[in-house]
Amino acid sequence: MLKKHYPWLWFDADGTLFDYNRAEVNALQRTFESLSLHFETGYLDSYREINHRLWQALERQEIAPDVLRVRRFELLLENLGLDGSADEMSTAYVEQLGLCTDLIDGAYEVLSTLHQTSRIAIVTNGLQAVQRSRLAHSKIRDFISEIIISEEVGAAKPQPAFFDVAFARTGQPPKNNVLVIGDSLTSDIQGGVEYGMDTCWYNPASEARPDGLPITYEIRHIRDLLEFIE
């Protein structure tokens, strides 16, 4: 494969650079402990199902971030039959998640290499308090030129309005100078394709490639980026 230079690389955060699965379980357990609530490992599956469903609703513009932040814990407490404050749980969880800086294996090395020749942005649908805290505590912070967060801009991937802001914040480069890299077909890849930019689907689970979505690159490991980006 011939290598190509992209002056701008737009990376998703959760599940692409940051190990969100590990962060999620650690933050949830610490949240329960901080509120003196008993935690069982099975609670994680319930939380993930609820959280995933609500984030999909956010992508469809059916729910706002501030509502999602608390609603997921209202539903979790109801689902588990537990007494507690969803507001307190939400506050504690966001604080704990913002301290979880574990990276996907290889992410540090890849950004360390790529930032020497390209500028790097994080484009994320995550919550402002989580993303800014986590990046500030992370060893990749010096590699990042811009961070665009859906909660701050008032639109979420894959909405064109989100990409409009990201495009402006990165200096309105020619679209063929930008590569969008992410693990979500519905937000990262669909959004990038519809905005007219090259995309790279990070697909560590080797899921089936969908028909009708012109993905430019597909990788199994984040280090694979170095094979085609110069």
CA 52 to chain centre: 12
Instruction: Specify the pLDDT at position 90.
Output: 96
Instruction: Specify the pLDDT at position 126.
Output: 86
Q: Are residues 212 and 155 part of one domain?
A: yes
Are 165 and 158 in contact by the 8 Å Cβ rule? The answer is: no
Q: Are residues 194 and 142 part of one domain?
A: yes
Which of 52, 70, 97 is where one domain is finished? 97
Instruction: State the DSSP string of 134-203.
Output: HHHHSTTGGG-SEEEEHHHHT--TTSHHHHHHHHHHTT---GGGEEEEES-IIIIIHHHHHHT-EEEEE-
Instruction: Specify the pLDDT at position 114.
Output: 98
The neighbour count for residue 224, using CB atoms within 10 Å, is 16
Q: What range does the domain containing 126 cover?
A: 8-18+103-227
Peptide bond into 7 cis (omega under 30): no
Instruction: Specify the pLDDT at position 2.
Output: 81
Instruction: Specify the pLDDT at position 204.
Output: 96
Which of 44, 75, 97 is where one domain is finished? 97
Which of 79, 97, 115 is where one domain is finished? 97
Digit-by-digit pLDDT tens for the chain (230 residues) are 689 999 999 999 999 999 999 999 999 999 999 999 999 989 999 999 999 999 999 989 899 999 999 999 999 999 999 999 999 999 999 999 999 999 999 999 999 999 999 999 999 998 999 999 999 999 999 999 999 999 999 999 999 999 999 999 999 999 999 999 999 999 999 999 999 999 999 999 999 999 999 999 999 999 999 999 98
**Spatial distance between the Cα atoms of 82 and 85, rounded to a whole number of angstroms:** 10
Q: Are residues 65 and 29 part of one domain?
A: yes
CATH number at residue 116: 3.40.50.1000
Considering its fold, how many domains does the chain have in total? 2
Q: Which residues are catalytic?
A: 12
Angle among Cα 140, 146, 152 to the nearest 5 degrees reads: 115
